[in-house]
Structures are given as C-alpha cells and as structure tokens.
Amino acid sequence: MTLHNKKNDEIGQIYFESKDREKVFQEKWVDKLLKDMQERNISYGILVSVSKPKDLKKDDGYVTRHNCIIIIEMNYRLIHSVVSFVKDSLETQSQNSKDFDGTAEMKRLWELIRSDQFKQGLRVLYLKMLKIEKNIEKQKKFFEKNIADQELSLLEMNQELKNVVLSFRSKVGTILPDNLLDKPEDK
C-alpha cells in the first residue's frame, strides 16, 4: 500500500502479509516479511493473522518486531487504526526530513541514512550476526557436551581397568607390579 500526504506526495509504503488459515503463529513469517520488505524497499510491514504470537496480549491488540513490523489479529477496525498510525508516523518523518538544513551533500547523506533501504540493510545484517552468534553458542554447547561425555567415558574405562587388574591380582597373585597403572612422569 502506497501512502501519500495531503499534497499527494508519496511518503512511504506498507507491505501486508495475511495468514488466515494457520492455527499456530510461526516467527518464520516475520523473517520472510522482513526479507520481502527489504527486496521491495518498503519501510513498514503489517502481518495480519488469525493465530497470535505468544507475546500478543489480549488488551494490547498488536506486537512489533524489528521496529518496522506490526503483528495484529484479523480485525478490520484494528487494521485501519494501525494503517492510520503508520501514515501519521510517515507524515511526521517526511516533514522532519524536509526541515533538515545543510549543504546538498549533507542532505543526500541525511536522506541515505534515513532511507528505508539503509535501515533495513542494517537490520538484516544485525539479524544475520545474531543468527551466527546463536549457531556459535549451539556449537559450543555441542562440543562441551561431547568433551564431557568423552571425559566421563575415559573415567569409567579407567575405573574398569583398575577393577580388572585388582580382580586379576586377587585371583593370580602379585605377578603384576603395584605401580602398573600409575601415570608416567612427564619429562
């Protein structure tokens, strides 16, 4: 949906996604919506769903993700209210960007920094960094557990070996030296 101000100047767009058949809310919808918004250079997304995310409280009416996606229930009044809110926000942003006083070069830089494409690029990069961080943590846990399992197995094998040697010594006698299982000294 393209939004215009009273002078009919384009002030922004909203990308809508509707999930009206799914019984359980899935966060992957939000990631897909963000990716679609970035591909189309759209600053706001509204995800309308019959299923609710866990953090959507009954009295709140909506939740946000990534500071640019609003998740709401399937309710036409609510949809119209949210669109109106986003339009007011975009009009304010548009007016504030026109009030910026500076050289032409600074204005271009200011427009770039305020652009949806720049903001979404930063957001996507940040989300990818979080994903890598999460994967690193999973790998750390896996390796720590794997090492702990190996250490436990080694301790169990060491104890079993001692039991075998003791059993052998009790049946056969002291043929084996007492220090057979002592660790050698490092040199």
DSSP 4-40: E-TT--EEEEEEEEEE-S-SS--THHHHHHHHHHHHH
- Per DSSP bridges, beta strands 2-4 and 10-19 are antiparallel
- Per DSSP bridges, beta strands 69-73 and 44-49 are parallel
CA angle (132, 133, 135) in 5-degree steps: 65
| pLDDT tens track, the chain, 187 positions | 888 878 888 878 888 888 888 888 888 998 888 888 888 888 889 898 888 888 877 777 778 888 788 888 887 888 888 888 888 887 877 776 665 667 778 777 877 777 777 777 777 788 888 889 999 999 999 999 999 999 999 999 989 988 888 888 778 777 777 777 777 777 6
One-letter amino acid for residue 101 of the chain? D
Q: What is the pLDDT of residue 185?
A: 77
The domain segmentation of the chain, as residue ranges, is 2-99, 104-172
For residue 156, which phi and psi values (nearest 5 degrees)? Answer: -65, -40
Interatomic CA distance for residues 82 and 48, integer angstroms: 11
Interatomic CA distance for residues 37 and 43, integer angstroms: 7
Give me the residue label for tokens 């953090």.
55
- pTM, rounded to two decimals: 0.54
Q: How many CB atoms lie within 10 A of CB 80?
A: 10
Residues contacting residue 29 through CB under 8 Å, at least 6 positions apart:
17, 19, 47, 49
